[in-house]
Amino acid sequence: MMHQKEISYHSKRLVYRIQGEGPLVVLLHGFGEDGIVWTPQFDIFPNNTLIIPDLPGSGQSEIIADMSMEGLADAIREIIKTEQKTQSNSNPAIMIGHSMGGYITLAYAEKYFDDLAAFGLFHSTAFADTEEKKDTRRKGIDFVQKHGAFEFLKTAIPNMYSPGTKEFSPELIEAHLQSLKEFSKAALIAYYESMIRRPDRTHVLRQNKIPVLFVLGKHDAAVPLQDGLQQTHLPGISQVYIMENSGHMGMREEEDKSNLLLKEFVQLSGSS
C-alpha cells in the first residue's frame, strides 16, 4: 500500500510516496508535474521499495534554496539515504527520471555514481539546451512572470501529448491540468532557469558501466525521437524503447507498455 512520508531538508519539507520492500526504485517526475504523474506505476514493483518524491517546489514539497539540477539531486539523495537507513538497506538504487527528472537523474549519476545500480531517461536527454531551446524557455519565464503559473501550464501541457491522445483521450490532458492549479510560479521559473544552465552530460552516459534505460516517444515534441536516438549508443549497456503512440507522456499515454518495459528494466538490472 502506497503511503506518504516527509522529511525536513535544510528546514524545508520534502514529501514522497513509498511502498514495498526490497531494493530501491526511485521514479522522478518532470517539469509541470508532481509524483502523481506516476500513478499507473504505483503497483508494478512487488519485489522492490518504490519511492516517488514530489520534487522540491512541486506538489507538497517546498521550494529549496538550491534549485539547480545538482541541488535537486542532493535533495533526492537525502530521501534515499533516509529510507536506506530506516530499512538498513545500503544496496544501490535504480533511478528513472521523466523529462526534467531525467536531468536530475543524470546530475545524481554524475555526483553519486556508486549509489546507483542502473538509471533511466524517460523522455529525457543528456544533451544541454540548444540556443533555440534556451530562448523558448526564456520566453516561458516571461509568460509565467506576466500571467502566472497555471496560465502558462494551460498552454504548455497539451503540447506534451501526442496528436492521438489529444483526439481520443483528452481526459488525460484535462486531469493533468487540473492537478496543477496551485503550482508555484517561483518553482516553474527556477526550474526553467536551472534547465537553461544545465551542462551537457553525455559523458555520464559514456563513462558508466551500469544499465541505462532510454524511453523515447515517436510524437515527442520536447525530446524529438531522432535527437533521443543520437545518445542511445553511448552507454556500455543500453535498453531502448520507442513509444509509438506517445508524445512526451508515455507513462500515461501508453500505461501498459510503460509498465512492462519498466518492470523488465528493473528485473534485468538485478534489483528485484
pTM above 0.85, yes or no: yes
What pLDDT, in 10s, does the model give residues 168-181? 999 999 999 999 99
The verdict on residue 149 lying in a domain is: no
The verdict on residue 214 lying in a domain is: yes
pLDDT at 135 over 50: yes
Q: Are 191 and 58 in contact (CB under 8 A)?
A: no
What is the C-alpha to C-alpha distance for residues 242 and 67, in angstroms, rounded to an integer? 31
Q: What is the pLDDT of residue 40?
A: 96
pLDDT at 272 over 80: no
What pLDDT, in 10s, does the model give residues 151-165? 999 999 999 999 999
Alpha carbon 251 to its chain centroid, in Å, reads 11
What pLDDT, in 10s, does the model give residues 90-129? 889 999 999 999 999 999 999 999 999 999 999 999 999 9
Q: What is the pLDDT of residue 271?
A: 53
What pLDDT, in 10s, does the model give residues 12-50? 999 999 999 999 999 999 999 999 999 999 999 999 999
The boundaries of the domain holding residue 105 are 3-128+199-268
Q: What is the CATH number of the domain that holds 229?
A: 3.40.50.1820
The verdict on residue 153 lying in a domain is: no
What is the C-alpha to C-alpha distance for residues 127 and 82, in angstroms, rounded to an integer? 31
Average per-residue pLDDT for the chain: 96
pLDDT at 267 over 60: yes
The verdict on residue 145 lying in a domain is: no
The verdict on residue 18 lying in a domain is: yes
Express as a percent the part of the chain with pLDDT over 90.
Answer: 95
Number of domains making up the chain: 1
The verdict on residue 171 lying in a domain is: no
| Candidate from 10-14, 75-79, 88-92 with smallest mean pLDDT | 88-92
The verdict on residue 57 lying in a domain is: yes
The verdict on residue 210 lying in a domain is: yes
